[in-house]
């Protein structure tokens, strides 16, 4: 492994409810190496999605610092954070976030268009064949099942070969066989492209296949060994 790609330093985040602040993340610090695959586990409501959003610059921490290589993400303007995320981060959202007015193929290729990157036909075919969506390319998100939308979202997150991939329950809408296939694809591409992958999941069997397992509890991460 090379030097850290991601460093979280003293991250805190609270949410407001009925005029009270409830701490969700508390003085959380974590370093992740280039090319490392990490599983982030924890109970529902423990803050896994919020932590991924903070890493991506979608949300800002109340305190602390998020550094991706030489860039301190939470010191950038919202416009600059969006541009940085578009170029360097692939995000597989728990609820897909596909654009309903674009076809499956158009949704997948959108990051290439936004970043003005060349279209790699072989890599595109690898993604759609591995996720078994080659017959869906000209359909629209509203016509797809949840599992199909999840696989499209995965292809969209990977198509521009980002340095950092964040996956929020990427197999949650899939049956066990398809989940295994999709997870194998994620791992294979992460290793092939030397990507850093952070995977929030409840699936301990999948988590056990990663380089490191981090449990989020009481607002902090602790490393955990799985059988």
Indicate the length of the chain as a whole number: 227
Strand pairing category for 164-168 and 89-92 = parallel
Reference 130, options 159, 102, 96, 101; nearest CA is: 159
Strand partners, 165: 90, 197
In the structure encoding, which two tokens stand for residue 91, read together? 């995000």
Domains of the chain from N-terminus onward: 35-60+75-223 (3.40.50.300)
In the structure encoding, which two tokens stand for residue 174, read together? 């899939």
In the structure encoding, which two tokens stand for residue 134, read together? 């080659």
Cβ proximity of 218 and 43 under 8 Å: no
The gap from C-alpha 46 to its chain's centroid, in whole angstroms, comes to 17
| Span 88-127, pLDDT tens digits | 999 988 788 899 999 999 999 999 999 999 999 999 999 9
pLDDT averaged over every residue in the chain? 90
Predicted model pTM: 0.89
The pLDDT value recorded for residue 110 is 95
Question: Using CA atoms, how far apart are residues 107 and 157, in angstroms rounded to an integer?
Answer: 10
The region of weakest confidence among 17-31, 42-56, 186-200 is 17-31
Reference 156, options 105, 82, 85; nearest CA is: 105
What value, to the nearest 5°, has the Cα angle with vertex 14 and ends 11 and 15?
Answer: 145
| Span 161-218, pLDDT tens digits | 999 999 998 877 778 887 888 888 888 888 888 899 999 998 888 899 999 999 999 8
Question: Using CA atoms, how far apart are residues 175 and 169, in angstroms rounded to an integer?
Answer: 13
| Span 136-147, pLDDT tens digits | 999 999 999 888
């Amino acid at each position: 492994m090379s030097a850290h790609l991601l460093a979280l330093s003293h991250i805190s985040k609270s949410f407001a409810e009925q005029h009270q602040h409830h701490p969700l993340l508390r003085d959380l610090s974590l370093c992740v190496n280039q090319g490392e695959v990490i599983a982030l586990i924890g109970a529902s409501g423990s803050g896994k999605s919020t932590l991924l959003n903070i890493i991506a610059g979608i949300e800002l921490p109340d305190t602390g610092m998020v550094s991706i290589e030489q860039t301190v993400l939470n010191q950038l303007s919202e416009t600059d954070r969006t541009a940085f995320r578009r170029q360097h981060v692939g995000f597989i959202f728990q609820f897909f976030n596909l654009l309903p007015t674009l076809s499956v193929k158009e949704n997948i290729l959108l990051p290439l268009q936004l970043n003005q990157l060349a279209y790699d036909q072989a890599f595109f075919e690898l993604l759609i064949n591995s996720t078994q969506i080659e017959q869906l390319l000209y359909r629209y998100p509203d016509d797809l099942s949840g599992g199909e939308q999840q696989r499209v979202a995965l292809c969209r997150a990977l198509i521009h070969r980002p340095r950092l991939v964040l996956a929020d329950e990427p197999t949650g809408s899939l049956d066990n066989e398809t989940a295994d296939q999709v997870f194998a694809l994620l791992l294979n591409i992460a290793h092939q492209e030397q990507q850093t992958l952070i995977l929030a999941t409840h699936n301990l069997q999948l988590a056990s296949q990663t380089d490191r397992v981090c449990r989020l509890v009481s607002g902090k991460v602790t490393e955990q060994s799985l059988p």
